[in-house]
Amino acid sequence: MPIKTDNKTNEIISILSHWLEQRGTDSSFDWLKSKLAEIATNASEKTLFSSYSAASRYYLKESLNLSVAEIEKLPVVGWNPTDWTLEQTARSLLLLSFPASDPDRYIATLDKIIAAADVAEAIAFYQTLPLFPHPEKFQLRAAEGIRTNMTSVFNAVAHHNPYPAKYLDDLAWNQMVLKALFVSSPLRLIYGLEQRNNPQLAQMLIDYARERLAANRTVSDELWNLVKTFEPQTVLDLKAVYKTS
């Protein structure tokens, strides 16, 4: 399935295509191949928009059920599509098929996709962040995904996704970690959590923990594990009066 784009993107497209060919029906894969070819050949925004929306009619919200061997062969460090569905994978393929040789047009086209996306479409978009050509140009979109009130969309950015650790600045990164605690989203699923830990984040987490204490609420042990790197004595002092969850 040749796509006119860079070698890395071609490799990812080949992998995603192989997964869907193995797991989807023949009719659904035939539909997808025709749309991918049309988008790649004609750079057709109309076809991309319509097929991105229609993917749910051809692919189910059924887990890929990837094997350990398939995960180990992935070409993007930190990318873990363990929880991806067939539908999400098809949508990622469609996004990656659009020619990216003109970065401005590529970004503008994908901006139109996410601007009109429903929740399921937004999740697929944000899961694809580490795979996009010109990934550095999606920093503002990633930060926007972090600010959402929809936990499922937030998790698509934050969990099993190497994009935030590689491209977000400390301010956006720290806000993402704190937001995860606010929405009860596990920190352990955030790629690069320990490597991107920093003193400013530790102070934010201490302030958050103190607010929890004032409200007689528990504090996740995941929070303490981050803070103790920079403020071990503060952790000991606070844990003496906190109930940990």
In a domain, 35, yes or no: yes
User: Tens of pLDDT along the chain (245 residues)?
Assistant: 434 457 889 999 999 999 999 998 899 999 999 999 999 998 889 999 999 999 999 999 999 999 988 888 899 999 999 889 999 999 999 999 999 999 999 999 999 999 999 999 999 999 999 999 999 999 999 999 999 999 999 999 999 999 999 999 999 999 999 999 999 999 999 999 999 999 999 999 999 999 998 888 888 889 999 999 999 999 998 988 765 54
Number of domains in the chain: 1
Domain assignment present for 45 = yes
Query: pTM value?
Result: 0.91
Q: Say if 207 falls within a structural domain.
A: no
Whether 230 is covered by a domain: the verdict is no
242 in a domain, yes or no? no
Domain range enclosing 125: 7-167
Token pair of 121 as six digits: 């479409």
Pick from 178, 183, 177, 182: nearest CA to 152: 183
Q: Which pair of structure tokens corresponds to residue 206?
A: 């201490």
75 neighbors 11 (Cβ within 8 angstroms): yes
Task: Assess if residue 231 is contained within a domain.
Answer: no
